[in-house]
Amino acid sequence: MTSRLPQKLRSDAEDNRDRILASARTLFATEGLTVPMREIARHAGVGPATLYRRFPTKQSLATEAFAEQVRACEAIVEQGLAVADPWQGFCLVIERLFELHVRNRGFTDAFLATYPEAADFAESRERAMRSVATLARRAKADGQLRRDFELADFVIMLTAHRGLRASTSAGRLAASRRFAALAVRAFQA
């Protein structure tokens, strides 16, 4: 029998992997998914061959780098669904998702699948969008969400939110909160 057992990485290989992921998270957050793989390797202090040995494609690197953000996104939507008042739950989702997305440009690109090499978050994205649609139906039935609201409006707002720019992270966060407040007002019945 020649089946291979999973191997634990050597400690130096594990350190390289951790540095690559930390560098990818940092560079994706500040520069988006267009950052070259060689730049990630340089930032991590490893050679390109080491990076490609661990992550053969940018998609595999982004999938691993954004795993925590995907879980956070899912948790935010679940929190919104758990709120007794559907409008308050809907507002919570907008505010917290916008904050999550403004902290990481690359995650927004990957989540919205606008970059061709982006990680495939289709399943997670679809699940989140179904939950937002459920929340929207509840808020409409309660008379608090505009009757003409469509899920595409939410995607448009996420896409527009991606364009926020500021020279500091505090400035981006302040702009994101302002944008979220404007989105909430726009969606309110």
Q: pLDDT (tens digit, 9 = 90+) per residue, 94-112?
A: 999 999 888 877 777 777 6
Is domain 67-187 in CATH 3.30.420, yes or no?
Answer: no
Q: How many residues does the chain have?
A: 189
Residue 118 has pLDDT above 60, yes or no: no
Right CATH for 11-60 from 3.30.300.10, 2.60.40.3880, 1.10.10.60, 2.40.50.140: 1.10.10.60
Looking at per-residue pLDDT, the higher value among 27 and 126 belongs to 27
Q: pLDDT (tens digit, 9 = 90+) per residue, 48-59?
A: 999 999 999 888
Structure tokens at 2: 């020649």
Where are the domain boundaries for CATH 1.10.357 in the chain? 67-187
Query: Which of 149, 113, 151, 103 lies closest to 131 in space, CA to CA?
Result: 151
pLDDT given for residue 120 in this prediction: 58
Query: Distance between alpha carbon 57 and the CA centroid of its chain, in Å?
Result: 19
| Residue 188 bridge partners (DSSP) | 145
Q: Residue 180 carries which DSSP code?
A: H
Where are the domain boundaries for CATH 1.10.10.60 in the chain? 11-60
Residue 6 has pLDDT above 70, yes or no: no
Output phi, psi for 84, to 5 deg: -60, -40
Query: Which of 185, 164, 159 lies closest to 176 in space, CA to CA?
Result: 164
C-alpha span between 107 and 150 (Å, rounded): 23
Average pLDDT over residues 132-160: 93
Residue 5 has pLDDT above 50, yes or no: no
Structure tokens at 79: 């929190």
C-alpha span between 5 and 34 (Å, rounded): 35
Query: Which of 53, 56, 71, 157 lies closest to 107 in space, CA to CA?
Result: 71
- Contact 40/23 with Cβ under 8 angstroms? yes
